[in-house]
Amino acid sequence: MSIETKQADQWQFLQTYTPARIARGRAGHSLPTAELLHFQADHAQARDAVYSELKVLELFQALLSTFNLEVLRLQSEVKSRSQYLQRPDLGRTLSEASRKILLEEEATEADICFVLADGLSATAINEHAFAFLDKLMPKLTEANWQIAPICIVEQGRVAIADEIGFILKAKIVVMLIGERPGLSSPNSMGAYITYQPKLGLTDESRNCISNIRPEGLSYEMAVEKMWYLLQEMNVKKISGVNLKDEMQDNLLN
């Protein structure tokens, strides 16, 4: 019976700077057994995140009781998680029942609308969406921004926010969504911001803040980035590739 001998990796010091799977050593031509098991565990965790479910009732109650705003529960045209993964187009489209809910709102013009969707990791929204909004809302309130009802969407993809924002007459829509899980980041939340949302927009019309989580981009830094982009959009009336992110340059001046 052979005994595995782990060989040291000269790049191991890089693990100090990143949680990425790098410099994990080797045993012969393969990974050491312990690292292989860690890989399998991380892979299983990422798969679990894809099939995780929104804690809709908990989110609903927390948002409603804290922000004193109307909260709407919506769904895309997707009928199952397997369909969600196979038919991205259905995840971008509101169900007829949800569209009716929005139309019955008889919305007045708002400055901003927040949409929360499971995406590819409901875990990310369950863990981070409320904490992020809790830090951002005071800035909006202080600046007297009019906020549309908050929408929680099950089985949703990024573009579904465009129709929601349009129906609710919001100048800006912010989609908080679970990002594609990585082996070291199964709970990463992304924020997509669009000025003048409407059906038919594509990714070049949106700005994105990615990897929002304590182990990645902290809530505080994400909120500062978000607030900067929101103010820029509000003044310049643009978003996406037309809006240059000069936040770092402004801080250095």
Binding-site entries: 158, 179, 208
Contacts of residue 207, Cβ cutoff 8 Å, sequence gap at least 6: 192, 193, 194, 229, 233, 239, 240, 243, 245
Long-range contacts of 224-227 (CB under 8 A, 24+ apart): 226/136, 226/174, 226/191, 226/193, 227/136, 227/139
Annotated binding residues for adenosylcob(III)alamin: 158, 179, 208
Beginning with the edge strand found earlier in the chain, give each strand of the sheet holding 150-154 in spatial order.
71-75, 150-154, 110-117, 170-178, 189-195, 206-212
Lookup result for tokens 């169900």 = 95
Distances, alpha carbon 248 to alpha carbons 7, 104, 190, 222, 228, in Å? 42, 42, 20, 13, 10
- How far is residue 12 from each of residues 7, 15, 26, 33, 235, measured CA to CA in Å? 11, 6, 11, 17, 47
Short-list 18, 43, 19, 40, CA closest to 31: 40
In 43-158, which ranges are E strands? Answer: 71-75, 110-117, 150-154
